[in-house]
């Protein structure tokens, strides 16, 4: 148990992380190339563009939509998305009367296979503390004004289930291709702090 804050003259995190990596590499416990691989994967290959493809497919394919709601993990796996923080993904669907929003109050659990790593605001103590208590107020501050008759459902990811919001398809997109629809879908809409709009 740490019982004192760390001293002010502690080496910078840049030096500490270099020290940690060097010590582990010297002992043959990690390879720098393996670390490069993890970083490359989450910097380039795993991110909200994956989730956007899931959403767009659900909007155009009723059978897929049904599979996604009934067993989200398997339906998401169909598109090739799986991995850490995605053992069991539950899809919660927005409607004209229900809006869903996701948080992890205890740490920052997030559905990595479909959204990648969480943004700063998701990890912010202000988000973690306030979204469960005053979601309507906080969403408005974040730019999402919901009508008074829209019920807000907040999902606190406290175990290993991960929640993924299926936003509503915006009006005026009836003739959009699946690819074009995917380009509209934002990370914020899939966490529930935004909605999808036609730019």
Residues that are catalytic: 104, 107-109
Of 134 and 179, the one with the shorter C-beta distance to another protein is: 134
Residues 59-78 that bind another protein (CB under 8 A): none
Least distance in Å: CB of 60 to another protein?
27
Q: Are residues 50 and 115 in contact, defined by beta-carbon separation less than 8 angstroms? A: yes
- Determine the interface stretch with another protein among 40-48, 53-61, 74-82, 169-177 (rule: CB under 8 A): 40-48
Q: Encode the chain in three state secondary structure.
A: CCCCCCCCCCCCHHHHHHHHHHHHHHCCCCCHHHHHHHHHHHHHHCCHHHHHHHHHHHHHCHHHHHHHHHCHHHHHHHCCCCCCCCCEEEEEECCCCEEEEEECCCCCCCCHHHHCCCCHHHHCHHHHHHCCCCHHHHHHHCCCCCCCCCEEEEEECCCCEEEEEECCCCCCCCCCCHHHHHHHCCHHHHHCCCCCCCC
Least distance in Å: CB of 58 to another protein?
20
Residues 138-177 that bind another protein (CB under 8 A): 138, 141-143, 151-161
Least distance in Å: CB of 45 to another protein?
11
Residues 86-125 that bind another protein (CB under 8 A): 87-88, 90, 105-108, 116-117, 119-121, 123-125
- Determine the interface stretch with another protein among 41-49, 56-64, 167-175, 176-184 (rule: CB under 8 A): 41-49
- Determine the interface stretch with another protein among 49-57, 58-66, 84-92, 175-183 (rule: CB under 8 A): 84-92
Least distance in Å: CB of 175 to another protein?
29
């Amino acid at each position: 148990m740490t019982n004192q804050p760390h001293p002010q003259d502690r080496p910078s995190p840049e030096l500490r992380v270099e020290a940690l990596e060097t010590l582990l590499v010297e002992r043959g416990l990690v390879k720098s190339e393996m670390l490069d691989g993890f970083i490359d994967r989450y910097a380039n290959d795993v991110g909200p563009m994956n989730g956007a493809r899931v959403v767009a497919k659900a909007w155009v394919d009723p059978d897929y939509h049904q599979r996604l709601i009934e067993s989200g993990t398997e339906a998401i796996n169909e598109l090739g998305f799986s991995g850490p923080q995605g053992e069991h993904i539950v899809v919660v669907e927005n409607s004209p009367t229900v809006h869903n929003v996701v948080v992890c109050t205890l740490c920052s659990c997030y559905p990595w296979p479909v959204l990648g790593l969480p943004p700063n605001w998701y990890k912010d103590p202000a988000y973690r503390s306030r979204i469960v208590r005053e979601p309507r107020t906080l969403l408005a501050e974040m730019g999402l004004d919901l009508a008074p008759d829209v019920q807000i459902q907040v999902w606190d990811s406290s175990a290993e289930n991960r929640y993924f919001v299926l936003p509503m398809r915006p009006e005026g997109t009836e003739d959009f291709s699946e690819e074009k629809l995917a380009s509209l879908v934002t990370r914020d809409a899939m966490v529930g702090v935004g909605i999808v709009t036609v730019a």
